[in-house]
Amino acid sequence: MTTTIALAGKGGVGKTTVAAMVMKYLAQTQPKPILAIDADPSSNLNMVLGLDLEWTVGDIREDMLAQVKNSLAGGGAAMGALPGGVAKRDYLDYQIRSSVSEGTHFDLIAMGRSEGPGCYCAVNHNLREVIDAIGKNYAYIVIDNEAGMEHLSRRTTRDVQHLLIVTDPTQRGIVAAQRIASFRDELDIRIEHAYLILNGLVDQAPAPLQEAIDKLDVPLLGIIPRDDQIAEFEFSGRPLVELEDDSPVYQAVAKMMAKVLTA
């Protein structure tokens, strides 16, 4: 059985950093193999994981549609076929499997840019089928989402066992976290557990912030301390998964994940 962990949060709250720490923890403590899915169009999860990235799913999708358009003068991309009679599903399956960035401890698929103008319903359906088929080969899948949750059901049809909502220690961040949490009831997939992670605090949450947290309909899983070493890694471009095990940031996330996976 595959366990799916999804991360969500508004931009700039350290969501991708938390995703990297989750991957590091899983690689050290859980059964292999592990798959990361970068569902953010900026596609920079590979940098914190120390993996090369050549193709994204968005690149593959747009390349396929361009071939379809070129093969049918004036025809619609969704209704056309690829040159040589290759089925779109087979083309996507081959190209996406070829685009998987393979590492020693985990692999990565990057979704890349969002859809352009036109109808993508059939293509997105095929993409979900391919990605879900690939995902069945992994014990764990970690999905780093866009700022919102509205595109999660486009990426997968599988249930999400654990949703980690990451926020910074601000009232605006807490409001955004609540909005993200409310999206989970509107998706076409089932989310079994949702948690809040507060990122970037020196100490415990101040009283006004704690009051706002207590009003949320998701429990606070834990607090990640602010750590200057993260900035040093970001400045140098060094992958965050190379943080030492005694890093306060990694220790905080490892403690949270141990709680989540044994709940």
Domains and CATH numbers, the chain: 3-261 (3.40.50.300)
Per-residue pLDDT tens for 107-123?
999 988 766 655 556 67
Q: 75: how many CB neighbours lie within 10 A of its CB?
A: 12
Range of 86-90, 102-106, 186-190 with top mean pLDDT: 102-106
Q: Are 155 and 130 in contact (CB under 8 A)?
A: no
- Tell me the two tokens of residue 248: 């306060």
Q: Is 132 exposed, middle or buried (0-12, 13-18, 19+ CB in 10 A)?
A: middle
Per-residue pLDDT tens for 139-184?
999 999 876 665 665 656 568 999 999 999 999 999 999 988 888 8
pLDDT band, residue 81 (cuts 50/70/90): low
Mean pLDDT value across the chain? 86
Per-residue pLDDT tens for 2-16?
999 999 998 889 999
Per-residue pLDDT tens for 198-232?
999 887 888 999 999 999 989 999 999 999 999 99
Q: Where are the beta strands (DSSP E) in the chain?
A: 3-8, 34-38, 101-102, 107-110, 140-144, 160-167, 191-201, 220-225
Phi, psi of 101 (to 5 degrees): -85, 115
Q: Which amino acid is at 169?
A: P
* Distance of alpha carbon 176 from alpha carbon 78, whole angstroms: 36
Q: Are 25 and 253 in contact (CB under 8 A)?
A: yes
pLDDT band, residue 77 (cuts 50/70/90): very low
Phi, psi of 217 (to 5 degrees): -95, 20
**Model pTM?**
0.89
* Distance of alpha carbon 61 from alpha carbon 90, whole angstroms: 13
* Distance of alpha carbon 110 from alpha carbon 113, whole angstroms: 9
